[in-house]
Structure 1
Amino acid sequence: MSDTAFDVDHFIAKFEAIPADKWIAGKFVDGDGCGCALGHCGFRDAREFSPADFVTDEGRALLKVLPDVILINDGWQVYAETGETPRDRVLSALYDVKLAQKAEVEAFDTEAGQ
């Protein structure tokens, strides 16, 4: 799958389908099948895997869409106020990205129509 297939809509659909009790903070994955946003995209702890195995194309694409995803997932600083769970915080940020993208398209369409 190309990076273009991993857009904001892809991540919203993916993360909406993962129950809140399958999300964690502070590490990529745990032994119970839970993960942070990047963990759900296949990221793994570099100390436990070879470099080729701990980073994924999907995870890289998520970092492009949401550069602060680790801080958001873990509720650091201002992100603590954007949701009670990692899932809530990440989805809230993705919805904001989607709204910003929509506003950019509308502004472009308005300028093009003048």
Structure 2
Amino acid sequence: MLRMIRRSEIDLAIWRRELPAALSSWLDAWPVGEWPNLRDVLTPAEIARTLRRHFDGAGIEHCDGRAMLIDDVTQLATLYAHALRLTHVQLRLEGYFTRTNERVPSTVSEPPASAAPYEGASISAP
């Protein structure tokens, strides 16, 4: 599915997927507004290490939910980078909520022009 994004006639791809129940429950337990936001430009090889450091700095204890999130984000960003033949992705983690405190799905988009000089893309989660 992600490889179709490279086709010139494709402008947008929406990928709906269910998170594993345990990961979804762990994320839902976070208080609204207390998610430790992160925005960084990384190679796929740097993502897991960067997420671990960021979560350590934010005081998020090591647990199965944290490990699942790190694995999920790393896999998604790596798939995206490989599908689009990118060397870097702009990783953005923010808590997005509706007025009823429901999570809004993750999105993948092109980076701002200021993200040059490398070719990259953006993936937002959770």
- Pair in the same fold by TM > 0.5: no
User: Greater strand percent: which structure?
Assistant: 2
TM-score normalised to structure 1 length: 0.30
TM-score normalised to structure 2 length: 0.28
Larger Rg: 1
